Amino acid sequence: MDEQEFVAKWQAERTRGAFLALADGAVFRGVPFGARIDRLGEAVFNTGMSGYQEILTDPSYAGQCVVLTASEIGNYGVNPEDVESRGLFLSGLVVNDLSEPSNWRATGSLDGYLQANGVPGIRAVDTRALTVHLRDHGSQRAYLHVSDEPVSPEEGVARARAWEGLDGQDYAAKVTCDTAYVFNPETASAKRIVCYDFGVKTNILRNLAAFAQVTVVPAATPAEAVLAHHPDGVFLSNGPADPAAVTYAVENIRVLLGKVPIMGICLGHQLLAIACGAKTGRLRFGHHGCNHPVKRLETGKVEITSQNHNFAVGVESLPACLEVTHLNLNDGTIEGVRHKTLPAFSVQYHPEASPGPHDSVYLFDQFKAMI
């Protein structure tokens, strides 16, 4: 098949009725795959070249339709080892070219994985144009249509506009565990950490379990119940949506501050900052990818980081008790803070994802030393 024939075939496939409709009126057509159900979600783009299974199983993507900017997706399939949580939490997946798996680690295809887990996907989308649109106009409320329901693009836009979106929404309550559990009971350590599950990733728990026994508790667990575990440290996990909506977590963190060392990542970073008096705000199109440069101010070194968030701690709102430890070199946003007098620190990015690959592992060592 020559280039002209390929383009003609690709354009023909996109006329079959599936589309992603954005609240600003833009519509991007494609071909359905995965589960044949329609979903509402916030359309965001992720610039990672790989890691789609980690994205699918990261609870921080709850409520989002993720647009992957890499041109070919699916070529290494899926496998049980790369799962980051108990399920898939994103609203939908948008790709350009869906490939069949051809990797020795693969135990299934991306298409089959989405079908089995009830997540819709759309392929043959002009993801370059879609990414540019989201970059220029910001993340968008979206309606993904891949079902047999007779929905017009105009109706899809109307449904996207009517959706409440993620602002002011507590999605941590939707993705957290139901009951407390010990992550790795065989861990031979006298140190004990309690991890608040706002949407925690498995590899974070692995890093913590390397030096402590880890008890994971639901997002709304009262601070008094956490202290009853007699922890040597408390960890605030990553999670989805708007940190300002997770008010109960902020109140619990305020009780814990000064009583026990605290470390936070992503949503946990934002919640710690709010508990100390800072405010958070929405970014235009967020940070989603595994190639974000972050400067560690203490050493001047640059770390290549993995990130997934739509909100950030406001520079102007930072209270006197906090000092900035890391900055994003793309847009100057805060990527890390440390309390000046209490044992507490946090970072906006994901050191456990290791895109550097080892640029940020020292953060877990810092927490270990702190406790």
Q: Give me the active site residues, please.
A: 266, 350, 352
* φ, ψ (nearest 5 deg) of residue 244: -65, -15
Q: DSSP letters of 76-115?
A: T-B-GGG--SSS--BSEEE-SEEPPP--TT-SB-HHHHHH
Count of CB atoms situated within 10 Å of the CB of 33 = 23
Cis amide linkage into residue 240, ω under 30° from 0 = no
Which parts of the chain fold into alpha helices (H)? 3-13, 52-56, 110-116, 127-137, 153-162, 172-175, 202-209, 223-227, 247-256, 267-275, 362-370
Sign of the alpha-carbon torsion through 17, 23, 27, 30: negative
**The amino acid at 125:** V
Calpha distance 12→355 (Å, rounded): 38
Calpha distance 38→56 (Å, rounded): 17
Total count of residues recorded for the chain? 371
Q: Give bridge partners of residue 264 from the DSSP assignment.
A: 236, 346
Q: To which residue do tokens 């997934």 refer?
A: 308
Calpha distance 173→176 (Å, rounded): 6
**The amino acid at 299:** T
